Amino acid sequence: MTDPLRFAHQFNPVIAYGDAVGNDCLELQRIFWSAGVRSDLFAAEAKPEMRALTRSWDDLELIKRRDGFLLVHHSIGTDTVPKVLASPARKAIVYHNITPGHYFAGLNDYLKTFAELGREQLKELAKAAEFGIADSEYNRKELEAAGLANTAVVPALVDWEDFDRPPDPEVARELADERTAILTVGQILPHKAVHDVVAAFAKYRETDRTARLYLVGPTAMSGSYLDRVRGDIRRLGLENAITLTGSVTVEQLVAYYRGATAFLTLSEHEGFCVPLLEAMRSDLPVVANAAAAIPETLGDGGVLLETKTPEAVAAQLERVIGDEALRKDLIEKGRRRVEAFSRPHVAERLKLALAQGGWDLPNAKSKKIVVMSSDQRCGIHHYSLAVTDGLRDRGHQVTFVGVKHLDTADLYRKLKFISSQSDAVLIEHEAGIFRDVPFVRALLSLWRKRLPVILSLHELEPEKFHHYRRLSAALHYNPRYRLPLEILRMPWVALRMANWFLRYRLVLMFMGSIPRKLVVHSTRSERWLQLLTPDQDKRERFPLLVMPLENTVLPRSAEEKRKLRARFGLPMDKFIFVSPGFFFARKRYREVIEALPQDAMLVLSGTKSSWEPEYFDEIIALAKTKANVVINTEYETMGEYVAASDAVVLFYEDVFQSAVVTQAVWAGLPCIFSEAEGFAPYHAAGPVVRSEDELAKAMREIQKPETYAKYSRGVRILRRLLSPERNAERYLAGIE
- CATH number 3.90.550.10 is the correct assignment for the domain at 161-338: no
Under CATH, domain 558-726 is a member of which superfamily? Answer: Glycogen Phosphorylase B; (3.40.50.2000)
Counted residue by residue, the chain has a size of 736
Give the HSE-up count for residue 82: Cα atoms under 13 Å, Cβ half-sphere.
2
| CATH number of the domain located at residue range(s) 368-541 in this protein | 3.40.50
Q: Kindly report, residue by residue over 529-565, the tens digit of the pLDDT.
A: 999 999 988 999 999 999 999 889 999 999 999 999 9
User: pLDDT value at position 603?
Assistant: 95
pLDDT in the model for residue 459 = 87
SS3 call for 109:
helix
- Tell me if residue 299 falls in helix, strand or coil: coil
Domain edges within the chain: 3-157, 161-338, 368-541, 558-726
The closest alpha carbon to 437, from 495, 496, 529, 511, belongs to: 511
Strands of the 181-185 sheet, one edge to the other = 242-246, 212-216, 181-185, 262-265, 286-289, 303-305
Fold match, 3-157 / 558-726: yes
Got the DSSP string for 631-682? EE--GGGHHHHHHTSSEEEE--S--S--HHHHHHHHHT--EEE-S-GGGGGG
Cα angle vertex 701, ends 695, 706, to 5°? 145
**Greater pLDDT, 459 or 261:** 261
Q: How far apart are CA 562 and CA 644, in angstroms?
A: 8
User: What is the tens place of the pLDDT at every residue in 477-510?
Assistant: 777 767 777 777 788 878 888 888 999 999 999 9
CATH of 3-157, one of 3.40.50.2000, 3.30.565.10, 3.40.50.2300, 3.40.50.1220: 3.40.50.2000
* Residue 558 host element (H or E): helix 558-568
Q: Whole-angstrom Cα distance, residue 59 to residue 11?
A: 11
Considering the entire predicted model, what is its pTM? 0.92
State the Cα–Cα distance between residues 517 and 426, nearest whole angstrom: 9
> What would the pLDDT profile of 419-436 be if each residue is shown by its tens digit?
999 999 999 999 999 999
CA distance 201 to 308: 12
Question: Given this model, what pLDDT does residue 606 score?
Answer: 85
Give Cα separations from 493 to 243, 488, 500, 501, 504 (angstroms): 80, 10, 11, 12, 16
Instruction: Say if residues 682 and 52 touch (Cβ distance below 8 Å).
Output: yes
Q: What is the mean pLDDT of residues 313-328?
A: 97
For residues 728 and 676, give the distance between their C-alpha atoms in angstroms, rounded to a whole number.
Answer: 26
State the average pLDDT for the chain. Answer: 94
Mean pLDDT, range 88-96, rounded to an integer: 96
User: Would you state the torsion angle of the CA atoms of residues 166, 169, 170, 173, taken in this order, to the nearest 10 degrees?
Assistant: 110
